[in-house]
């Protein structure tokens, strides 16, 4: 998001502020500089490697810049104005998003460890997050269920009005090896660029309106629906295993 330098508290009062942001491509900042980027209606989003992970923050507006400590007791640790729930477990993904050629020659960059409660709750509704607490990390059945849902969600929105992506990037400073010992040397920008995505949501919320998009309604997981999906997937895996053994012995 755009950065504000302010000495008093600032509260979000306009919910559609993201829609009003102009498109700003992801560029490589100068040494020590922070930039934000915004993409609207991006229809080539790639998400992969989805796993169940420990959550960093229960807030819906979090860039994880300051998550050390307990967010319930340390006001320094979390800048969120509003937090509904605190979930211990959340989904974690790899994202493939656009960027300028000065960031990557392919004009695409992969972002690891993306976590977002807001994104999760597109699919996991009515307390279905609680099921995560009964599942071990790396559980193959749960991983198959959530990866299938996430893949179908991304495809659905890509084919409709695409995604809005907002984030920030800061380039660190390093000393040129040839200038070691030179007190007057100027630091240069680090080569590695590690963007942080703070907002990932369909550009048109109607694309995930279950009353208007039956294909999306089928993807939603309530707590009961999630447990049912886990059971069905376990039965499917069992059948596949039995079929594999049958073929191996025939």
| Mean pLDDT for all residues in the chain | 79
Report pLDDT digits (tens) over 88-127: 677 889 999 999 998 889 999 999 888 887 888 899 877 6
Predicted confidence at residue 182, as pLDDT, reads 60
227-247 burial, b at 16+ Cβ within 10 Å, e below that, comes to: eebbeebeeeeeeeeeeeeee
Report pLDDT digits (tens) over 154-180: 999 999 999 999 998 887 666 555 556
Number of residues assigned to the chain? 250
Give the other-Cβ count within 10 Å of 20's Cβ: 7
Q: For residue 225, what are its two tokens?
A: 């629906």
Report pLDDT digits (tens) over 199-237: 899 999 999 999 999 999 999 988 888 889 889 999 999
- How far apart, in whole angstroms, are the C-alpha atoms of residue 10 and residue 164? 23
- How far apart, in whole angstroms, are the C-alpha atoms of residue 104 and residue 173? 19
pTM strictly above 0.75: yes
pLDDT band with cut points at 50, 70 and 90 for residue 80: very low
Predicted confidence at residue 81, as pLDDT, reads 44
Over residues 25-35, the mean pLDDT reads: 85
pLDDT exceeds 90 at position 194: no
Q: What is the CA radius of gyration of the chain?
A: 21
Share of the chain above pLDDT 90, in %: 35
pLDDT exceeds 70 at position 16: no
Predicted confidence at residue 57, as pLDDT, reads 59
Whether residue 107 contacts residue 98, with contact meaning beta carbons closer than 8 Å, is answered with yes
């Amino acid at each position: 998001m755009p950065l504000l330098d302010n000495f008093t508290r600032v509260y979000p009062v306009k919910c559609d502020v993201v829609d009003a942001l102009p498109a700003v491509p992801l560029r490589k900042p100068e040494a020590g500089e922070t930039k934000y980027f915004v993409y609207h209606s991006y229809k080539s989003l790639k998400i992969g490697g989805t796993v169940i992970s420990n959550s960093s923050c229960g807030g819906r507006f979090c860039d994880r810049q300051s998550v050390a400590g307990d967010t319930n007791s340390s006001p320094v640790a979390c800048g969120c104005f509003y937090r509904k729930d605190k979930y211990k477990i959340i989904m974690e993904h790899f994202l493939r998003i656009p960027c300028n050629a000065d960031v990557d020659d392919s004009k695409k960059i992969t972002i690891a460890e993306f976590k977002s409660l807001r994104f999760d709750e597109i699919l996991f509704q009515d307390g279905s997050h609680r099921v995560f607490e009964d599942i071990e990390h790396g559980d193959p059945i749960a991983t198959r269920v959530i990866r299938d849902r996430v893949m179908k969600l991304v495809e659905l929105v890509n084919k409709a009005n695409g995604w809005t992506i907002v984030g920030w990037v800061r380039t660190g400073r390093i000393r040129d090896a040839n200038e070691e010992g030179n007190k007057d040397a100027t630091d240069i920008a680090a080569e590695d660029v590690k963007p942080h995505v703070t907002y990932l949501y369909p550009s048109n919320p109607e694309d995930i309106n279950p009353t208007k998009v039956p294909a999306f309604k089928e993807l939603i997981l309530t707590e009961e629906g999630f447990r049912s999906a886990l059971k069905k997937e376990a039965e499917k895996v069992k059948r596949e295993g039995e079929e594999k053994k049958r073929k191996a012995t025939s």
